[in-house]
Amino acid sequence: VQLQACGGGLVQAGDSLRLSCAASGRTFSSYVMGWFRQAPGKEREFVAGISWSGANTGYADSVKGRFTISRDNAKNAVYLQMNSLKPEDTAVYYCAASTRRSTGWIWRGTEDYAYWGQGTLVTVSS
């Protein structure tokens, strides 16, 4: 599986951005997909995840209510809509695919995800 993330950029606090992640491979629809981020000097952290069907989602407390993850299995794509951005959201954002079996559970650890995109930088100025 190859993942390609895009949509990052420089925005002001309060603005919105939509990240996209395009995936290759015929089994995309069976993967739990996640978005992670890594700020300078910090560890990579879970942001949001979505089950294979899209019926279940999970969010980090820091983004709950502001970010929305979605997927389109017909297009092999997953998205992250980010609203009300804050300077502390500044980071490189990565999409990731988990091959772990799930009946709806959203994996939150980096170790749960086998495939990673290259990352897209989001910078939020105050």
**CB neighbourhood size of 6 (10 A):** 14
Work out the pLDDT band at 82, boundaries 50, 70, 90: very high
Work out the pLDDT band at 102, boundaries 50, 70, 90: confident
Work out the pLDDT band at 104, boundaries 50, 70, 90: confident
